[in-house]
Chain A
Amino acid sequence: MLTLKQSRRLNTTLVGIAAWTVALLLFFPIFWMLLTSLKTEIDAFATPPQFIFTPTLENYLHIQDRSGYFRYAWNSVTISFGATALGMLIAIPAAYSMAFYETKRTKGTLLWMLSTKMLPPVGVLVPIYLLAKQFGLLDSRSVLIVIYTLINLPIMVWMIYTYFKDVPRDILEAARMDGATIFQEMTRVLLPISKGGLASTVLLSLILCWNEAFWSLNLTSANAAPLTALIASYSSPEGLFWAKLSAVSTLACAPILIFGWISQKQLVRGLSFGAVK
């Protein structure tokens, strides 16, 4: 018969083992990608798969030599941060009005906004392509910033709306009593209170923009192509380039992975804050 203390310790150990197992399972594809990127092409498709081999950096050198990694990375950074900044500029006032000046149509509007996420992107490819062509925006970073903003806006508004709903109205009313304008009320009171939630919204938007591939592949070609397009350029149905493909995927994932790693505490706190409400 286990004592209460022993039972708790056993529970903690079992939960720990389960958490580590899930974490390792989730991390394994990334680990394998990294490992393959350090192999030669002949080692990359060897069966049984090789865990012990002579590592090489030739795939990384090849990528920089052939494609110029930093140009694509810069496009990814500009587009992701641009779309996130623009999205926040629109989402914060929208969420503010919905959270603090709620009408009978607010919930319906929120649901309708979210329903636009259910449309398969390919369904609107031709109209969007024609619009981009008409405005001379094909192969420009601007078009992806606008598209990504529009794609992520429903989620951003929803998230910020949820955080704003948790802010007591009394605090805002007190600010108003002290003579604060709406702008001051938002910038000096509301935003500092909800900075945890806003940070997680920014992070989520950055990750979604960074990983988006459909529009970046279809609307860019030479000048504005981000890292997702660079990865696609190393995929081939006629030729074994698995090691190079793994190297370019590692290079594309690395910045956002490191960024996520650094800010994971903020991200998890923000996301779970909304989830357990």
Chain B
Amino acid sequence: MHIGKTLLGTACIGTVCLVLASTASAETLTIATVNNADMIRMQRLSKTFEQQHPDINLNWVVLEENVLRQRLTTDIATQGGQFDVLTIGMYEASLWGAKGWLEAMQDLPQNYELDDVFPSVREGLSVDGTLYALPFYAESSMTYYRTDLFEAAGIEMPERPTWTQMAEFAEKLHQPDKDQYGICLRGKAGWGENMALVTTVANAFGARWFDEKWQPEFTGEEWTKAANFYVDTLRKYGPPGASSNGFNENLALFNSGKCAMWVDATVAGSFVTDTSQSRVADQVGFTFAPHETTEKGSAWLYSWSLAIPASSKNKDSAKAFTAWATSKEYAELVAKTDGVANVPPGTRESTYSDEYMKAAPFARVTLESLKQADPADPSAKKVPYVGIQLVTIPEFQAIGTQVGKMFAAALTGQMPVEQMLNAVQQSTTREMKRAGYPK
């Protein structure tokens, strides 16, 4: 009896020791990510990765995009070491990579097939040829329109519409008494909100943020035309309160059947065709983002990517996870579990199989838009910066948001467009001088 108790006690202690030992030997990766459908799916499917790597545990920190950006900036700038994998965009990848805050993505597994990743996306995440993040999904911008309304009005949407044509269509389809608005565009102030769209409109009109000597060009002819067009069109044919509308607000308007046309991120393709959230899922057409005097820079390029901070203590495990989450193997897993239409779009050539093209009616436009996007050549004129809907300099977040606020003010009628552009020119010149840019 006594021996039995001793043995039982020893066995219990042994088991506890084993459990503790196994816990101690397992590495825990803390992954910071954003709350969107693709990332949440990754979180769910990452159990497969944990099964394949029993020595790695995953801890998820999901935050709203702007909160995440602020949180990561604080942590990476102070070398806080809170995270092992970061979800970042092209803007952060370039800036943080250049500062040495990110681990270079070298020595990837042989079956990773880096050449399968679109060159434009790869370049957007590289600094001087060194890749600092692996793309999880990429997006461009495109035009969404209501095929039923176009048919009823006897209008045909061209494959590559101009902004002038878009304004004409909007005029014909604008029926505010029926709660139907001609066009929905972003108006909410912010460098990643209204300025993403406004910059592509400006690019299409031949404008650029800065000349080769980093002098702002807001008072030039191109910006004046683009800004007047944007403000006039949205005020005449947009929904009420357009200056408060960002991606989500316009998505809600479009999905509830209130927008005849909408120009925004290609990622919305899967939302507007999803019958569980869209009332017009079967009546949506897709075409390229509008151009005007040039097609250069008329559609943006953005990518949510996974990067490893230099302060991570588990770099090897972090690299194994980032490679898995951005691999063809992961795409196949998504296709198998959630359907091929839910594979993260825009990063790999192999994603765009015949099966995918059939399942996702917006895939062709997305694919071609991504291929055409060139962040190094975003305007008809030469520019000293990289970026289509943004300028990849550390000061851009502050400058872009300030300019965005003034565009929103012009949209609400607080100041005329010319006065707004003069104010934008002055404030941007001042900030750029302060940062030491103009040569």
Interface residues of A (CB under 8 A from B): 40-42, 45-47, 66-67, 125-126, 129-130, 133, 138-139, 217-218, 221-223, 225, 229, 232-241
Contacts and interface: CB of A to CB of B under 8 A. Distances in A.
Interface of B: 30, 32, 34-37, 40, 43-44, 59-67, 70-71, 74-75, 78-83, 179, 192-193, 246-248, 251-252, 255-256, 258, 265, 267, 271, 276-279
Contacts of A46: 256
B61 A129 contact: no
B64 to A, nearest CB: 4
Overall SS of chain B's interface = mixed
B82 A217 contact: no
Nearest to A230: B62
Given A138-B82, A236-B36, A240-B248, A66 B43 contact: yes
Given A41-B277, A236-B64, A139 B40 contact: no
A232 B70 CA distance: 13
Contacts of A41: 276-277
Nearest to B64: A235
A45 B279 CA distance: 11
Nearest to A221: B61
Given A221-B30, A236-B64, 7 more contacts: A42-B255, A45-B255, A126-B74, A221-B82, A222-B61, A236-B35, A239-B251
A133 B61 contact: no
21 contacts: A40-B276, A42-B279, A66-B44, A129-B74, A129-B75, A130-B78, A133-B79, A133-B81, A217-B71, A221-B32, A221-B61, A221-B82, A223-B59, A232-B64, A232-B67, A233-B61, A233-B64, A236-B65, A237-B247, A237-B248, A240-B277
A234 B179 CA distance: 30
A236 B255 contact: no
Contact of A240 (B63, B67, B82, B271): B271
9 shortest interchain CB distances as A-B pairs: A222-B59, A233-B62, A235-B64, A236-B35, A45-B252, A221-B61, A239-B36, A238-B36, A221-B82
Contacts of A223: 59
Contacts of B70: 218
Nearest to A244: B35
Contacts of A66: 40, 43-44
B405 to A, nearest CB: 17
Contacts of B60: 222
B35 A233 contact: yes
Contact of B74 (A218, A233, A241): A218
B401 to A, nearest CB: 14
A225 B67 CA distance: 14
Nearest to B40: A66
B86 to A, nearest CB: 11
Contacts of A225: 61
Contacts of A42: 255, 276-279
